[in-house]
Structure 1
Amino acid sequence: MADLFDTSATPASTGPRPLADRLRPKTLAEVIGQEQVLGPEAPLGTMLAAGSLSSLIFWGPPGVGKTTIARLLADETDLHFVQISAIFTGVPELRKVFEAAKMRRQNGKGTLLFVDEIHRFNKAQQDGFLPHMEDGTILLVGATTENPSFELNAAVLSRSQVLVLQRLSLADLERLAQRAEKELGKALPLDGPAREALLEMADGDGRALLNLIEQVAAWSGDKVGVDQLASRLMKRAVKYDKGGEEHYNLISALHKSVRGSDPDAALYWFARMLAGGEDPRFLARRITRMAVEDIGLADPQAQAVCLQSWETYERLGSPEGELALAQAVTYLALAPKSNATYVAYKAAVKAAKQTGSEPPPKHILNAPTSLMKDQGYGADYAYDHDAEDGFSGQNYFPDEMKRGVYYMPVDRGFERELKKRVDYFAKLRTKRNN
């Protein structure tokens, strides 16, 4: 009788099998892509050559081979393969899995436990794996589409090696398509551009490509072009989690493209986020933040452009208003860059925390009462408008505090002019105080 969750003992189905199942690799050498993990000098290649396999966490998008590689690793290392899903498995089922693995180990057989969507287990459930990993009852191979740093316990991560699996490239997908055609015994009824479009529709997901190929292979008649392909197949939704890591990855890419003065890349990431369903108001806010942090006074107009584009979006709505935001993205990417005010503000905040109880110098304090005048409030204050060049050069920092220098403008854009003013006042201050 087959063990609970023992997928290696599942009898073969006599019914029709999906193409993805029929093309499942039988050895690691047949796996398409993931050379950075499976190559001779890559982590898994090195482990297998040394005959020493550690617990693993596969991190990558759907359809890149996580389950297949785990199954083949069990075959390569003569371990019993057991597969569970964190979505459907609770504590009672986990106990049964561990008990079966203990019995198997007593009989001289190890267990490779593959846990799909491992990040969906809570902390207590993840902790439950630790003793069985440590005593060798199981070799854990977890699969997750989420960043393990955020989703998995530190204890599990410290006992595992995280391997990053990547989206399949177009070349990888083409190899997979050719393998599918060989299995089907016929070429896909697509012209060249339509074939390229089909590969792009898969978006790096091998399983999705094979599902699309099954649909296309059933068509009869002449070869189909791009327009017909688009009308016959529903385009896959863009992989984008507005609340997850993909959200932060793409906004980071947009921000850094603007900072790097690349309008084309910035517009691309902006469009990617919109296509994924991002709220344009979030983008408007983030774009305005870019103007404040990375452009600042090098182009004071940048903030105004962002605020105007934001207001325009609010008046026009989508999709017309998104063009105004795109114009702001382009403007920011091409604007001169400076974070001098940003750096100065952080330095001033740090100094303020360190000297938070120091009072202002008395000469710049108002003296509305006679008592305050007797205490020296306002004494010897120099009215700058009466001074030469409209500049007194007095000290405005606390008496017991060394004068701080925080704002250091760059020699770019409008800040070039501000730099001249800073230097000018610094010279006058030195002259007045000597």
Structure 2
Amino acid sequence: MADLFADEPLPLEAAAPPPPADDAPLADRLRPRSLDEVIGQEHLTGPEGAIGRMVAAGKLSSMILWGPPGTGKTSIARLLADAVGLRFVSISAVFSGVADLKKAFAEADALAVSGRRTLLFVDETHRFNRAQQDGFLPFVERGTVTLVGATTENPSFALNAALLSRAQVLILHRLDARALGALLDRAEALVGRPLPITADAREALIASADGDGRFLLNQAETLFDVAFDAPLDPTALGAFLQRRVAVYDKDRDGHYNLISALHKALRGSDPQASLYYLARMLTAGEEPLYVLRRLTRFASEDIGLADPEALVQCLAAKDAYQFLGSPEGELAIVQACLYCATAPKSNAAYTAQKAAWKSARETGSLAPPAHILNAPTKLMKDIGYGEGYAYDHSTDEGFSGADYWPEAMEPQTYYQPVARGFERKVIERLEYWDKLRRQRD
């Protein structure tokens, strides 16, 4: 795609762009003009946040902004450049290639000579391949650009380790109901009239945005553009927007209370209460796929290997619902809900994940022991890669008992299965392997 832009100058954007036109989309007209106007990310932009402290010091480090869509990543990047007086250049990894990057870096190099520094904003950073990501490194290291990347993907998997070591990862939160409500307040103030919806429908509209501020403002703009005889209630709102919108009465449990109640009833192995809260959500118009996502998470977090079939049931219910639609497909959701409620419970996998992640962060980049490293070249063989590796299938038991931990790290125990369901069998296997290890030691 780079050839499309090879002969065109890279468009530069001023650090403080002019105000949008009156007929610009509502989301653009409400774009914050300073960091203190950014909604929902005060943990970063506030005085004690990482961004707030950098701005106060007048010096930015390269960073990766990681968060869901519609949470303010692009706005924050623009405002950062303005706050510390940097030239702002924006590139999208979807539409740009190597030629665009080279041009941006060349221009930044030329301007750096005169003391004018550049903030390079790279949207969808994870879409650049590893070679392209490596191309950022020398320019970031010598300060030609301050890189601000934006990604919706986990940087640990989507970005090079070398790039991550030179940039601070800052996590943006999905916008909560309070932040989304504040956005609607700003929209109403700008337009000069309230949204043509009831209070209950407003709550439902906020819940349907699922934390995405841009989506919420686009929905609000659609409502502002149409004249209604009377404010829309949740049912009429759902029909108008062609989205199923849940009913939320202030004198009854709301969206988050109901999903929490469902989760707790499932964990407590109460299929009757679980089915009741499931019915409350689906009959109110909740998105079935939202419920299925929560059931699938529950199958791993609260059941795990006590009954591995629970995860299979949830994913099968998702496929069945997508195939059949409503209302026929909702029976598959009921089946998955009842399976999870009646399954043996274990949070051993969930606990093991948290412990392993903590250990990984604390131990950094310890190398695995040499005997389990592949040695595809002569040099690697000469320096000991793969030397002494025990091939488990060559033993009578199919188990070598070798030590797979980094030399500078003691073996850890993260996963501790419970004596319920299938995990009883897992305990037997682990005890058998421990016995073989002791015999060989």
Q: Contact 1:291 / 1:306 at 8 angstroms: preserved in 2? A: no
Picking from 63, 79, 87, the partner of 2:86 is: 79
1:356 equivalent in structure 2? 395
TM-score normalised to structure 1 length? 0.63
Matches within 5 A, 1:35-434: 35-220=42-227, 221-235=229-243, 275=289, 293-295=305-307, 320=328, 323=331, 326-327=334-335, 329-337=337-345, 353=392, 356-357=395-396, 410=419
C-alpha distance in structure 2 between counterparts of 1:215 and 1:409, whole Å: 52
Instruction: Report the CA distance shift for 1:332/1:110 in structure 2 as closer, same or farther (over 3 A).
Output: same
C-alpha distance in structure 1 between counterparts of 2:270 and 2:62, whole Å: 42
C-alpha distance in structure 2 between counterparts of 1:127 and 1:144, whole Å: 17
Q: Contact 2:306 / 2:422 at 8 angstroms: preserved in 1? A: no
Deviation string 1:62-87 (CA, Å, 9 cap, x unpaired) is 11100000000001111000001001
1:349 equivalent in structure 2? none
Q: Contact 1:287 / 1:329 at 8 angstroms: preserved in 2? A: no
Unmatched 5+ residue regions in structure 2? 1-7, 246-261, 349-390, 399-416, 425-441
**What secondary structure sits across from 2:60 in the alignment?**
coil
Q: Contact 1:83 / 1:114 at 8 angstroms: preserved in 2? A: yes
C-alpha distance in structure 2 between counterparts of 1:306 and 1:22, whole Å: 46
Q: CA deviation at 1:48?
A: 2.0
Q: Contact 2:20 / 2:28 at 8 angstroms: preserved in 1? A: no
Letter paired with 1:356: T
1:381 equivalent in structure 2? none
Letter paired with 1:4: L
Q: Contact 2:196 / 2:223 at 8 angstroms: preserved in 1? A: yes
Instruction: Report the CA distance shift for 1:80/1:274 in structure 2 as closer, same or farther (over 3 A).
Output: same
**What secondary structure sits across from 2:230 in the alignment?**
coil
C-alpha distance in structure 2 between counterparts of 1:325 and 1:14, whole Å: 47
C-alpha distance in structure 2 between counterparts of 1:16 and 1:255, whole Å: 45
**What secondary structure sits across from 1:100 in the alignment?**
helix
Picking from 23, 41, 52, the partner of 2:30 is: 23
**Pairing 1:7–2:5 present:** no
**What secondary structure sits across from 2:122 in the alignment?**
strand
Letter paired with 2:59: S
Letter paired with 2:111: R
Q: Contact 1:112 / 1:141 at 8 angstroms: preserved in 2? A: yes
C-alpha distance in structure 1 between counterparts of 2:306 and 2:331, whole Å: 22
Letter paired with 2:13: T
Deviation string 1:9-49 (CA, Å, 9 cap, x unpaired) is 87766672111111111110111111121122221122222
Letter paired with 2:11: F
**What secondary structure sits across from 2:14 in the alignment?**
helix
Deviation string 1:327-366 (CA, Å, 9 cap, x unpaired) is 45434434444799xxxxxxxxxxx95993379xxxxxxx
C-alpha RMSD of the superposition: 4.6
1:365 equivalent in structure 2? none
Letter paired with 2:242: M
**What secondary structure sits across from 1:83 in the alignment?**
strand
Unmatched 5+ residue regions in structure 1? 238-253, 297-301, 341-351, 360-407, 417-434
1:32 equivalent in structure 2? 39
Instruction: Report the CA distance shift for 1:106/1:234 in structure 2 as closer, same or farther (over 3 A).
Output: farther
C-alpha distance in structure 1 between counterparts of 2:167 and 2:141, whole Å: 11
Instruction: Report the CA distance shift for 1:190/1:294 in structure 2 as closer, same or farther (over 3 A).
Output: same
Q: Of the two, which has the highest radius of gyration? A: 1
C-alpha distance in structure 2 between counterparts of 1:157 and 1:105, whole Å: 24
**What secondary structure sits across from 2:395 in the alignment?**
coil
Instruction: Give the stretch that moved more between structures: 108-117 or 40-49.
Output: 40-49
C-alpha distance in structure 1 between counterparts of 2:340 and 2:214, whole Å: 40
